[in-house]
Amino acid sequence: MILVTLCIAIAALVQPEPAKSGPQPEAKPIRYEDLPIPVHLGLRAEAIQRAWPALSIVVIVPDGKSYIKAISAWDPKVRFPVLIDDGTAASREDIARFVRGYAPKKIVRWATKDEAPDRKAAVEAALCGVWGKQLPGEEKAPAVASSADLLARWKAIGAPRTGIVITAPDDPAWTAALALAAGRAQPLAWVSRPPPGRVDTFISADELRKFETAIETACDATGLAWKGLDDDIDTVTLCMASPNSAQVEPKVVLATTDCIGRINPDPAERIGKHERWAWTGQIFGTESRSAYAAMCSLFLTAHKAWLFDGYPQTKPWSDFDATTAADPLKRLKIDATIDDTPNTGERAWRVRVSNMVDAGLVCVNTKGMSNEFNLEPGRLLPADAPILNTPAMVHFVHSWSAHAPSERWTVGGRWVERGAYAYLGSVDEPYLNAFVPTPFVTGRLVNKYPFGAAVRVDNGPAWKLTVVGDPLASLANPIVQVEGELALADASSLQEDLSAALTVKDFAAAIRVLILQGRDGDVAALVKGMLKDDPKLLTAKAAELAVLPLFRTGDHTSMIKCYAQLAKPAAMDPALRDAVWLSAYRSLPVTRDPEVLNALRQATRDDQPARDAIELAEPYAAAFGREAATGMLQEIRARATPDEQGKLDREIRAMTAPARVR
């Protein structure tokens, strides 16, 4: 079944374009063996996607044990996305973002009543259970109870080989490992997480070699061919918080994901000079976030793109031209929003992100450090990353952006927080020639390169660029949604939860359900109705929940009214403060509305108090007077770092000068 689909996919790719009018030279058919190796890999991954329909249903579970049981209900005929709602705002936003991207017909909640099992055994049993179910034409289901049985099963049905998934028993990213192993017919291996057990740190050369050896031993144990490209294992997906940087020499830092997957015939030779046998990516984070990253890769297709070019039009920067990069996307009918010369500066960016960005692919060309990015002209900060409407694959040409990708004070960390499920960034200073030019990246993605291969220079040594996410993520993921019955008893529709909440006028609960359903417009309508008819109905909790949906709908007036109701600690939520400041950019210079100005004062961000306070100072003085503005600056100065205090001192002196010169 799957093998037949692969042949169809290849045939569709290699068909020549229709002949133009008039005499034309005879078109030579493109042979599969002549295609680049990454295209072979992309076609193999695509074959499974095409052959394996997905229910137009999203299942939300509360915990890991329910997640395992829900994945166990997949079978080789149909599957469905499963996401974890752990009660946090982050998981709620991830689910909502996924739902808007997937647009299912139905969303349900489900939980198992079973006791929590031994995780490793339960994950392996679930993986075997998915592929041990009976297929059409089979007299009975085969016995699949071990890794060897799984490999035999995949071989028997012709499931294409793609890669291996690596996780650790004690790492929360096991949720991604289970989904990607089951969803892509990949062997799953358990490897100890190397010290110090965090993403945002360095692995030593010795520990890296041990880690490489453990992964290669796991590949050997499968009996599959893995030592070269275009064989059985061409990707490694690390589902764990292993260090994303490798200190291979005293002054040489490389990306761990670019070191893993290379032949190392001479251990004494410097790591990273060896030929690639696999493209590697890394998923990390909570159980909920890791499940989100995997489900996005397995079930989402990009329909829109945003390309921002912060580079000059001279060589070599012009090789990364965003306008040129948008051309290949037309082939897939991807609607591309382009910000290019002359709209390449700070104002163009901040105007764009003053509303949500709706794009499944984002490409940005910029310069800077881990906590800033510079445009032509202007300097921006991590908080200037957009609020994404749907999950996105992000190609970020920039130094240091992925230095600490799980930390929101970094550029890459803020993108991951905002919903990027695949991200290419640098852990150190890579230099421009380390990046594949943006037009090549989009062209590769359109031509079926998986993300992990599309963003890497061919035949180069290991360097400083890391891939966050599943390396097999695809731009044009050919998932087929179908209607059918869900093989989970007692699943309840979110619509029932919504009706119950509205019946008892629990508007906070109702808003939460609407968010999970991706219905921001209905949240906005509900809040506006309450503000107009009976503001007392809008409780502090309902107002807190409504801030981000109102931002995404562009109803910034209602958003400010909601935020103004919040007390600490709700008002200090970093995501809400970002939304308030992003929304205010265009109108702030002329704003005299006390509610807006006081909201911005309360929302001043801890990681950039000087810029926020200085931007607020002039409108605040115009509305309330210089003395009040000076008091605002001094209040914010008291909680700023010494460097930020220096910037604020200069603003305070200017504010209190007899004749202010701007």
Q: Where are the domains of the chain?
A: 48-287, 301-471, 567-662
HSE-up (13 A, CA, CB side) for residue 189: 24
pLDDT score at 273: 67
pLDDT score at 659: 58
Instruction: Please state, for a pLDDT cut of 70, what percent of the chain lies above it.
Output: 94
pLDDT score at 23: 61
pLDDT score at 22: 55
Residue 506 confidence (pLDDT) above 80: yes
CB 254, CB 211: distance < 8 Å: no
pLDDT (average), residues 642-657: 91
pLDDT (average), residues 533-557: 96
pLDDT score at 117: 83
pLDDT score at 20: 46
pLDDT (average), residues 420-433: 96
pLDDT in tens, 84-132: 999 999 999 999 999 999 999 999 999 999 888 899 999 999 999 999 9
- CATH 3.40.50.300 applies to domain 301-471: no
Residue 24 confidence (pLDDT) above 80: no
User: What average pLDDT is seen over the chain?
Assistant: 92
Beta-sheet strands, E only, within 4-98? 54-55, 57-61, 82-84
| Rounded-to-10 torsion of CA 559, 563, 565, 568 | 170
Measured between alpha carbons, how far is residue 561 from residues 92, 129, 199, 594 in Å?
Answer: 22, 51, 38, 11
pLDDT score at 626: 94
* Helix segments in 137-252, DSSP class H: 147-157, 174-184, 205-222
Residue 436 confidence (pLDDT) above 90: yes
Q: Which amino acid is at 223?
A: G
Using the Cα atoms of residue 621, residue 623, residue 627 and residue 633 in order, give the sign of their dihedral: negative
Token pair for 32? 């599969």
CA 574 from chain center: how many Å?
A: 18
Q: Which residue has the tokens 């609020």?
A: 387
- Rounded Cα–Cα distance for residues 182 and 72 (Å): 9
CB 553, CB 522: distance < 8 Å: no
Nearest to 170 by CA among 190, 199, 189, 146: 190
- Rounded Cα–Cα distance for residues 292 and 286 (Å): 10
pLDDT score at 17: 37
CA 131 from chain center: how many Å?
A: 28
Q: Which helix or strand (DSSP H or E) is residue 502 part of?
A: helix 494-503
Token pair for 93? 């936003």
Q: Which amino acid is at 270?
A: R
| Rounded-to-10 torsion of CA 510, 514, 519, 520 | 70
What contacts 138, CB < 8 A, 6 or more positions away?
Answer: none
pLDDT (average), residues 625-636: 95
> How does strand 492-493 pair with strand 252-255?
unpaired
pLDDT score at 18: 38
Q: How confident is the model at residue 137 (pLDDT cuts 50, 70, 90)?
A: confident
Q: How confident is the model at residue 444 (pLDDT cuts 50, 70, 90)?
A: very high
Q: How confident is the model at residue 139 (pLDDT cuts 50, 70, 90)?
A: confident
pLDDT score at 12: 41
Strand ranges across the sheet with 367-369: 367-369, 372-374, 379-380
Strand partners, 109: 60, 492
Phi-psi category of residue 605: left, alpha or beta, with phi > 0 → left and psi -120 to 50 → alpha: beta
- Rounded Cα–Cα distance for residues 71 and 489 (Å): 14
Phi-psi category of residue 392: left, alpha or beta, with phi > 0 → left and psi -120 to 50 → alpha: beta
Token pair for 280? 């590697």
Residue 389 confidence (pLDDT) above 60: yes
Q: How confident is the model at residue 392 (pLDDT cuts 50, 70, 90)?
A: very high
Q: Which residue has the tokens 């919903």?
A: 419
Token pair for 16? 């020549």
Mean pLDDT lowest among 236-245, 518-527, 653-662? 653-662
CB 329, CB 304: distance < 8 Å: no
Residue 283 confidence (pLDDT) above 80: yes
pLDDT in tens, 158-214: 999 999 999 999 999 999 999 999 999 999 999 999 988 899 999 999 999 999 999
Q: Which amino acid is at 173?
A: A
CB 82, CB 179: distance < 8 Å: yes
Higher-scoring residue by pLDDT: 497, 135: 497
